[in-house]
Amino acid sequence: MIGLTLKHLRYFDALARHAHFGHAAESCGISQPALSVQIKELEAILGAALVERNARRVRLTSLGTAFLERSRKILVQVGELKDLARSATGPLAGQLRLGVIPTVAPYLLPQIMTTLATRMPDLELYPRESVTKSLIDDLIDSQLDAAIVALPISEPALQEFALFNEDFVLVRPMSEADKPVPSPQMLQHMRLLLLEEGHCFRDQALSFCEVSTAKPRHVMEGSSLSTLVQMVGAGMGLTLIPEMALPLEIRVAPVSVARFPPPSPARSIGMVWRKTNPLAEKLMEVGAVVRQVGSKGNPPKISGVQK
């Protein structure tokens, strides 16, 4: 098709993602009029409209939806051609777009970035924090190279690389420090503080407490683990958090921490990437570094933790 370029495809992909000309232009580092010109030029090449324009939101036409699916496959394959060249030129260098779930990012990402900067000095790490579903979608669409998530993902297009396991711990108000650790059945009838829907850690905690994810009872929600711990400190309930979060989250909150008796709740943290990614072997090297970082801090040595 004469005149069609990868630039057209990238700009159209950005517009489809953001559904807004201004936001899409900002993500591409160009002006809104320049993006609009490129989209109109693409539509002229195709001889049909790809988007419906209105004041609030851009919507894809039926052709736009079909065109987007095929153009994204092309962009993924072009990206993999570049990665193929990178995989044959010695140590991993250049940009690495790494997604991290919110219940890992604040606690491990600083150490990961510092360690990778030392071990792989030519690597430019671009981290992105988001919930699992968003990270998986971006991986499949080649917007990310790899992601650190809770396993299993069970996505056929992705390769899973296990990093380490960690326990969940119970965080309660200080006034309950001497009470026995409640069983999962007892937790069902207590005021449980959990992350908002969309966080995999929420589902894992509900599963341990044997509470239905459809209509949980006695549940209050928070936007982050920090919020949950502060709510516990204010006497609003109790919560479960991953062990790696302890050093950061309990420093200033008046809470007590207790470990569950075996079999204690736990999760497996791993890295995932597209099976077709030519950088797979080098991503395993990155994963090995992340594994070392996670293993050093897992479990953390916290005083005052009830066994």
Contacts of 233 (CB under 8 A, 6+ apart): 173, 174, 253, 254, 255
C-alpha 165/C-alpha 270 separation (Å) is 9
Per-residue pLDDT at 166: 93
Q: Are residues 109 and 154 in the same domain?
A: yes
Q: Convert the pLDDT of each residue in 46-99 to its tens digit.
A: 888 899 887 677 888 889 899 998 898 888 888 777 766 666 666 677 889 999
Instruction: Clarify whether residues 48 and 106 are in a common domain.
Output: no
Q: Are residues 134 and 202 in the same domain?
A: no
Instruction: Give the domain CATH number at 25.
Output: 1.10.10.10
Q: Are 191 and 260 part of one and the same domain?
A: yes
Residues 174 and 218 in one domain: yes
Beta-carbon count within 10 A of 280 CB: 16
Res 85: pLDDT: 65
Question: Looking at residue 212, what is its pLDDT?
Answer: 60
Q: How far apart are CA 142 and CA 84, in angstroms?
A: 14
- Stated as kind and residue range, the H or E segment containing 85 is helix 62-87
Question: Left, alpha or beta for 267 (phi > 0: left; psi -120 to 50: alpha)?
Answer: beta
Quote the CA–CA distance of 107 and 103 in Å, as a whole number.
8
Strand 192-195 and strand 219-222: pairing? parallel
Q: Residue with structure tokens 């072997």? A: 281
Domain hosting 137: range is 91-164+267-306
Residue 248 is assigned to a structural domain of this protein: yes
Q: Are 132 and 251 in the same domain?
A: no
The CA distance from 130 to 147, in Å, is 10
131, 273: one domain: yes
> How far is 219 from 238, CA to CA, in rounded Å?
10
Query: Is 32 within 8 Å of 76 (Cβ atoms)?
Result: no
pLDDT in tens, the chain (307 residues): 568 888 898 899 999 888 888 888 988 889 999 999 999 999 988 888 899 887 677 888 889 899 998 898 888 888 777 766 666 666 677 889 999 999 999 999 999 999 999 998 888 899 999 999 999 998 988 889 999 999 999 899 999 999 999 999 999 999 998 899 998 888 888 888 988 877 888 888 888 877 665 445 556 788 899 999 999 999 999 999 999 999 999 888 899 999 999 888 999 999 999 998 888 888 999 999 999 998 875 544 444 455 4
Q: Please tell me the predicted confidence (pLDDT) of residue 276.
A: 86
| Residue 140 contacts residue 121 (beta carbons within 8 Å) | no
**Structure confidence at residue 79 (pLDDT):** 78
pTM for the full predicted model: 0.74
Domain count, the chain: 3
Look at residue 1 and tell me if it is in a domain.
no
96, 52: one domain:
no
| Closest to 183 measured CA to CA, from 244, 263, 281 | 263
**Per-residue confidence (pLDDT) for residue 88, from 0 to 100:** 60
pLDDT at 207 (0 to 100): 85
